Amino acid sequence: MSLASSQSSGLITAYRPFLGRVENQSEQVLHLATSLPEFPEDWSSEVWPAVLPKLASRVAEVLAPPAPRVWLALGEARVEGVPELETIAHNAFELGEDAESAAAGPASGVFELHGPPFVRAHWPAAGLAESLAEAGFSVQLSQDAGRHCCNGLLWLATRAAELKLNPRPWIGFLHLPRQPEKRAEQATLVAHAAAWLAQQHG
């Protein structure tokens, strides 16, 4: 892949355990996916704490020049269902039982007081979904990334990129159901997704 000298290639992120759990599906899958031969060798990876007040500074660090051309963020979803490619980020948060985040500020609200109610994620989610389906993976597009750190990352990164970066990087979010028995399968899916995104953006 041909890269602009002022930009890094790609980034994949996941979350550490939260709400008292001992594992986070996204972190486990990330470690497996980045070891697969098809995963882009020039991508970097990071695992973040799932604490909403810390997201803004971390997003700013990632998007500071040279920003990655592609950012694929992973998060843990409910137990049921199939992996979901998020297409919408909402200007709202609801911390629920997340005491660590709630202790740092209000338990609910909006990210941007006079901002739009939602923004569309800037990545080819539909094309990726088609590629994954052709490769035999069950996935679906989603317009609801929740109201916690997954939605928060997608909102903050999408807004920062659209307001400050030209060209805009692709920033997408992939929710992985909390299914430990399917981690190897999900890792192969993630590696395929990263390779497809890298190729399409090359």
Any domain includes 131: yes
Dihedral through CA 62, CA 22, CA 151, CA 87, nearest 10? 90
- How many distinct structural domains can be found in the chain? 1
Q: What is the mean pLDDT of residues 99-119?
A: 83
Asked if the model's pLDDT at residue 144 lies above 80, the reply is yes
Instruction: Categorize the per-residue pLDDT at 3 as very low, low, confident or very high, splitting at 50, 70 and 90.
Output: very low
pLDDT in tens, 158-182: 999 999 999 999 999 999 999 999 9
Averaged confidence pLDDT in the chain: 92
DSSP 186: H
Q: Of 80-94, 102-116, 139-153, which gets the smallest average pLDDT?
A: 102-116
Residue 3 belongs to a domain: no
In sequence order, the 6+-apart residues with CB closer than 8 A to the CB of 25 are 76, 77, 176, 177, 178, 179, 180, 183, 186
- Identify whether 2 is part of a domain: no
Q: Read off the CATH number of the domain in which 30 is found.
A: 3.40.630.20
Q: Which pLDDT score is estimated for 106?
A: 79
Residue 141 in domain:
yes
Q: By percentage, how much of the chain surpasses pLDDT 90? A: 83
Structural domain of residue 189, as residue ranges?
A: 17-200
Please answer whether residues 149 and 49 qualify as being in contact, where contact means their C-beta atoms are separated by less than 8 angstroms: no
